[in-house]
Structure 1
Amino acid sequence: MERERVGQPGFDRIVEALVHRMYDASAHVEVVNGRGGDDGIDIKVTNGSRMRIFQLKYYLDGFPTASFKGRRKSIKGSFARATKHRPWEWILVAPSTLTTAERKFVTSLAAGQSVRIQVWDRAQLDGLMATHADLDQLYETAKVYRQERALLMGGTRDVRARVAALGRQVDGLDDHWTVDFARQGETVVHTLRGKHPRAHQVSPVEISLTGNGPLAPELAKAVRRSLGFGLPEEVVLPRGAVESLTVSGPEWLTASHQDVEVPWRPAEMAPGAETEVEVVFLDGRQVTASYPGTLRHLGRGSIGRSVDVELAGGCMQLMIPDHADAPASLRFTFSLEGLEPAAALRLLRIHQRIVAGGAFHVRARAGVISGGDLPAKPEAARKEAAELRRYLEDLEVVQRHCEQYFPIPAELAPVDRITLRAARLLIDGHCVISPFMPSARFILNGQDSPVLRALLSGEPHAVRVECEEFAITLAGRRLDLGPVLFFHPRVTADDAQQALAALDSGHGDGQVVTVRPANKEHFRLQLQSATTRDEPVPAPLALPGFPEPR
């Protein structure tokens, strides 16, 4: 190691790195900036109550008495300042091999002091650097480049200067192309960049892939979308799927590679391109619906072009083949997770438009970007979308009525779905038959009346009960619908004779009476605010797979 070519800044930097490497695991290492005076400390290592002080002296020729007389005075002064901090050990670090007289001078400084003294001279440093061989690369770098910047003594400024200089050298490889580069860990990434807009025409570069057997079905679909139509999704071809990758172009760039993994992602949109668009659905020339969106990507692939539009909460990808007879295809992906019903309904309506099929286009202020005619999806898909929409509409109405807003529940039991549907119909002013009310229980207060005795007579009678509070529980929340009326025109009482006997004996107070609608029917419900003089007609729940209650 040629320390004389490193210079003092490089020497100091390497010793600092060495001390950190040796003591960081067990002690606190602090390198002192000497601007304005270092107070006798270049490096301080603290381990509990013990302190080591390192003093660095870049004396390549040592400090003999016959010459460099000021050096011994400097060492002595540094030691004196260091002892004010009461160190446990003081270590002098110098790049030369000390003579016996020089070593004796250093150790004599401890006379009358409680401090230990050590010397790290050339031999000691060589041994330590052999143990930590990777640090030796700093010296080798300095030897090769013979410049202070090789050690990056200027920090990030030197990094920037070195990289820029290397970039200028790379720029000289070709008149039309250059290579940008970046380091990611131990990997160096090269990015080919044209020097001018016509680089690909003047000096074409082609990348050829040779496959190794058929791709997995999902990977094949992804390759078709990305490479075939230019959609902005990254596709990774694993090593087993690629036999070779060949780059053809300028001589310095041309090469063939085997055993490679190939990640592929189409180029991004040019900056400044218009991004505000509308997705418009048509019936002939009539606009039936339009939704604002953001144009994320316009792509071109080997078999067609693509349009990628972001809609609030969803993504629409349109693929248009170059062949005129081939139909366009549209993929709409969305998630309702975390959305409130109102926001989810908007996405679902777009989905229903796509499922129903028909004409549409994507347009910007400058005009239509793309469009086509979509085939209708199977009837089962349309029914599924319609049922989901009804559920979201029911939930939105109930939330708005109760002024309680929350995201769509991740799961909904069938019982909750029935309850939600009934609640929505009640809010809309309808009368509903509750499948959960086949009977009702009353507790008598001991008072007798002809109406009560008629109910207990065994003959069916009408019952109307006003409840000032009626609530349902959904997704762990109590939702109050307001005052409700429950009733039925033909009700009979269980254990009527027992209740009559209790009334006759004056012990009717506390007697429990259970009443049931006739013919195994259920009680009707209606919000009190919606009642009229007319006999209400129950509205059907109309839930697929669930029989209507009677």
Structure 2
Amino acid sequence: MTMGGREADGDKIQWSRLNQPWFDRIVETLLLRKFRGVATVDIVDGRGGDEGIDVAVTYPDDTVVIYQLKYFPEGMSGNFSGRRRQVKDSFLQAANHHEPHKWVLVAPRNYTNAEKSFVLELADATPEGKRRPIVSCMGQAELDQMLIDYPEVDRWLTLDHYRRGRQIFEQERAAFLETVARDLADRVGSLGDVVDARDPDWTWDFARDRGTMIQTLRAKHDNAAQRSPISIRFTTALETDSPAEREFRQSIEYGSPTRVELPGTAVTDFDVSGSPIVQGIPEPDRLVIESLPIEAAPAVGMLMEIRFIQDGEVAATREGSVTGIHHGTHGFTSMMSFCGNRLTLTVRTPYQQSPDPTSMDIGYDISGLSPRAAADLLQAVLGLHLSDEIQLYLDGHLMSRYNCSGDATDSDRSDLEEKLTIYRFADDLAKVIAHTGQGMTFPGSFSVNDQVNARVARLLIGNHIVASPLARGFKIGLSTDAALTPQLRGILTQRHRIHWPAGTYTAPIAGREFELGQATAFHPEAWVQNGTLALTALEKGDAISDELILRPGDDPYFFVYLQSDETAKAADRRIANWGIDDIEEPWLDRPWLTQSQ
């Protein structure tokens, strides 16, 4: 291994051939360059215990981003899945001790889909009471791009390669004539002719792209595989039913469109046999398996319909189209698109003789949509999870069925609860927007307060009486010459039923404000804070020095309703609770809560 894990071929850093100290040093240097003049970068020596920090970046507004460096060149799947525990422990330490705004895992390889999902879901493990950070990951592609962005780091790493690079350059320059471009093409073309002559059925195409040599095995004609078959055999050392093993199996059995990448350490007994042209292929450092779609498949572009079945009846339908078909040993994979390409289904359907059931992966994207459109899309996504059965019709003919009643894992249930939360908030916000006439895109994030304010606003629009966190108390103005009547004494010292004009009700939701109309605050046991002190001052003829605030009995909030000139509408008002899962209701258990007001 040379300095920085470089190889002479292409003179590129081989991230998989470093060690932890060199990896840390390179990444730390890149981060120092990236944030120079922008933020403060703190490099932590972990020998004394880093409490979940390798590199901490602090912006002028006190936003903190923690980078956790893990030298896992083999990844975190298969035999190396135990490394996920290390990553989670580091995340929990950072969340507990430092509460960063963002936490980034840095590793020297690109992540599989399963690994990326594991990292992103770490945010759900944030300890209670701690700030929930945004979680992301940085792999080989991002590190390579940083080296391109900051070439001075790359040059620093290549000092001991300069002499050898110069020798190669001089040798190649001496071998060319003055017409360099033509001579280069001639030399490469001649080499291609030599390769083509080796086999009548197969050949190697080759290219040099940014210092990397790419060789592609190509059939010279359609019958090459029949005339001169090439076999690739290998054994995988993957943990049974691990995410990597499932992805690999799906790619082989159903032709999954997902690229499957296996580290060389997970591949054994690798052998390519057949034509002499493939002899000498070495053990791979990385094995990439990708199923190509069937060209000109008749089903592509055809109408696809989802039927959501509940209690034996069609509850709803959605129409879309087939976008691709892949075949495997056990069945085929269909890619489908719905809702303007915002909802995608990847459906694995077994061949008729296979006992395997149909399985389905769901993808969706609500970014940039209005709350109404986001709610409609999420309603379809939830229907795919909660219906008794999903039926897929291709051009009016039943293609497959999917039973939704299978056993759900804890992760599945958590994911479903998150989708329900987002859907309910989007639906509430859509009703508020429809009432006010305002427009906005669905926010990328929202808080518990946003959920409560949107639900309260929706219930108010629906003619309900609702406890509102925005109505905690009202200031009362009282002049020193006010007549001290028995009624005023009672107001200042006793609890009483009150309907208080609260002015325009403005709901703050996701950084925006929505005016719903004139509102009235109600409570049957309202009282005046500092009322006794005010009464004493009035009796003495003194000025009232303490602020008088109307409070909602022993409850944290007043109940609020929107004013209406319609008598029948006012008579139909009822107190409604929020009904938001996992958010505690604000009022005490009182008999009058069930009565109309």
TM-score of the superposition, structure 2-length normalised? Answer: 0.59
Superposition pairs for residues 390-539 of structure 1, below 5 Å?
390-402=424-436, 403-413=438-448, 415-434=449-468, 437=471, 439-445=473-479, 446-448=481-483, 453=488, 455-456=490-491, 458=493, 460-500=495-535, 502-503=537-538, 512-518=547-553, 520=555, 522-529=557-564, 532=567, 533-534=570-571, 536-539=573-576
Query: Partner amino acid for 1:549?
Result: W
1:220: how far off? 0.9
Residues 350 and 447 of structure 1, relative CA distance in 2, 3 Å threshold: same
Q: Distance in 2 between matches of 1:272 and 1:214?
A: 35
State the AA in 1 paired with 2:290.
Answer: R
- The CA deviation string for residues 320-364 of structure 1, in whole angstroms up to 9 with x for no partner, is 234532212111134556654334323322321221244435555
Letter in 1 for 2:371: P
Match of 1:220 among 245, 249, 254: 245
Q: Given residue 487 of structure 1, which amino acid in structure 2 is its aligned partner? A: F
Instruction: List gaps (5 residues or longer) in structure 1.
Output: 1-128, 143-147
The offset of 1:192, in angstroms, is 2.4
Number of residues of Structure 1 aligned to a counterpart in Structure 2: 411
Matched, 1:540 2:565: no
| 2:319 maps to 1:281 | no
C-alpha deviation, 1:425, in angstroms: 0.9
Instruction: Provide the C-alpha distance between the structure 2 equivalents of 1:158 and 1:368, rounded to a whole number of angstroms.
Output: 60
Query: Could you list the per-position Cα deviations for residues 377-420 of structure 1 after superposition, in whole angstroms to 9, with x for gaps in the alignment?
Result: 5585666544442222112223444414143242413x443222
Aligned match of 1:249: 274
Amino acid in structure 1 at the alignment position of 2:400 = G
Kindly provide the amino acid, as one letter, of the partner of residue 578 in structure 2: L
Inter-CA distance 130–256: structure 2 relative to 1 (3 Å threshold): closer
The structure 2 residue matched to 1:184, chosen from 202, 209, 222, is 209
Local SS of the residue matching 1:207: strand
- Counterparts of 2:349 and 2:536 in 1: how far apart (Å)? 83
Shift, 1:493, TM fit: 3.6
Query: What amino acid sits opposite 1:281 in the alignment?
Result: R
Q: Distance in 1 between matches of 2:222 and 2:542?
A: 102
Structure 1 residue 432 displacement after superposition: 0.9
Amino acid at match of 2:359: S
Which letter maps to 1:307?
A: S
- 1:457-513 deviation per Cα after TM superposition (whole angstroms, max 9, x unaligned): 745543222233222333333333332111234434445454445556666788743
Pairing 1:257-276 to 2, within 5 Å after superposition? 257-258=282-283, 260-270=285-295, 274-275=300-301
Cα deviation, residue 289, structure 1: 3.3
Q: Give the C-alpha shift of residue 225 in structure 1.
A: 2.3
In 2: Cα distance, 1:169 partner to 1:364 partner: 50
What SS does structure 2 have at the residue aligned with 1:267? coil
**Do structure 1's residue 356 and structure 2's residue 386 form an aligned pair?**
yes
Q: Report the Cα distance in structure 2 between the residues aligned to 1:139 and 1:519, rounded to whole angstroms.
A: 89
- Three-state SS of the structure 1 residue aligned to 2:277 is coil
Q: Report the equivalent of 1:48.
A: none
* 1:223 Cα deviation from its structure 2 partner: 0.7
**Within 5 A, what are the aligned runs for 1:193-208?**
193-208=218-233
- 1:236–1:396 Cα change, 3 Å: same
Q: 1:279 to 1:471 in 2, by over 3 A?
A: same
AA at the equivalent of 1:376: S
Return the match for 2:334 from 307, 322, 326: 307
**Cα deviation digits, residues 168-196 of structure 1 (max 9, x gap):** 55444444333322223454322223333
How far apart are the structure 2 equivalents of 1:355 and 1:251?
52
Closer/same/farther in 2, CA of residues 170 and 291 from structure 1, 3 Å limit? farther
Contact 1:483–1:527 (CA under 8 A) maintained in structure 2: yes
| Counterparts of residues 31-70 of structure 1 (less than 5 Å) | none
Calculate the aligned-residue CA RMSD, in Å: 3.9
Cα distance, 1:130–1:420 mapped onto 2, change above 3 Å? closer
Q: Which moved more, 1:349-358 or 1:424-433?
A: 349-358
* 1:378 to 1:473, Cα distance in 2 relative to 1, 3 A: farther
CA separation of 1:171/1:275 partners in 2, compared to 1, >3 Å: closer, same or farther? farther
User: Could you report, residue by residue, the CA deviation over 1:199-221 in whole angstroms, capped at 9, with x for unpaired residues?
Assistant: 33343222111335757922212
Hey, what does 2:376 align to over in structure 1? 346
Distance 1:509 1:448, change over 3 A: farther
1:454, 1:461 within 8 Å by CA — same for their partners in 2? no
* 1:212-269 deviation digits (Å, cap 9, x = unpaired): 5757922212212222321112222212112232223333335564354211111144
**Shift in CA distance, 244/372, structure 1 to aligned 2, threshold 3 Å:** same
Displacement, 1:369?
Answer: 8.6
SS in 2 for 1:456: helix
**In structure 1, distance between residues paired with 2:428 and 2:222:** 56
Moved more, 420-429 or 210-219: 210-219
**Residues 5-154 of structure 1: matches in 2 within 5 Å?**
133-138=167-172, 141-142=175-176, 152-153=179-180
Equivalent residue, structure 1, for 2:34: none
Bigger mean CA deviation after superposition, 226-235 or 354-363: 354-363
Shift of residue 302, structure 1, vs aligned partner: 2.9
TM-aligned CA deviation for residue 538 of structure 1: 0.9
Describe the SS at the equivalent of 1:283. strand
CA drift of 1:433 comes to 2.3
- Name 2:42's counterpart in structure 1: none
Q: 1:212 to 1:522 in 2, by over 3 A?
A: closer
CA distance in 1, matches of 2:304, 2:486: 66
Q: Deviations for 1:93-146, whole angstroms, at most 9, x for unmatched residues? A: xxxxxxxxxxxxxxxxxxxxxxxxxxxxxxxxxxxx99954344346535xxxx
Cα gap change, 1:226 to 1:479, in 2 (>3 Å) = same
Q: What is the CA–CA distance in structure 2 between the aligned matches of 1:479 and 1:298, rounded to whole Å?
A: 47
In 1, are the aligned partners of 2:456 and 2:468 still within 8 Å (CA)? yes
Report the equivalent of 2:401: 372
Distance of aligned partners of 1:489 and 1:204 in 2 relative to their CA distance in 1, 3 Å threshold: same
Change (3 A) 1:259 1:253: closer
Contact residue 245 and residue 256 of structure 1 kept, 8 A: no
Unaligned 5+ segments in structure 2 are 1-162, 589-597
Distance 1:520 1:267 in 2: 63
Q: Is the 8 A contact 2:495 2:527 kept in 1?
A: yes
Distance 2:173 2:556 in 1: 95
CA shift in 2, pair 1:389/1:264, >3 Å: same
* Partner Cα separation in structure 1 for residue 418 and residue 169 of structure 2: 67
Give the secondary-structure state (helix, strand or coil) at the position aligned to 1:376.
coil
Equivalence for 1:318: 347
Report the CA distance between 1:371 and its aligned residue.
2.5
One-letter code aligned to 1:243: T
Structure exhibiting the larger radius of gyration computed from Cα positions: 1
Distance 2:430 2:404 in 1: 30
Distance 2:315 2:535 in 1: 66
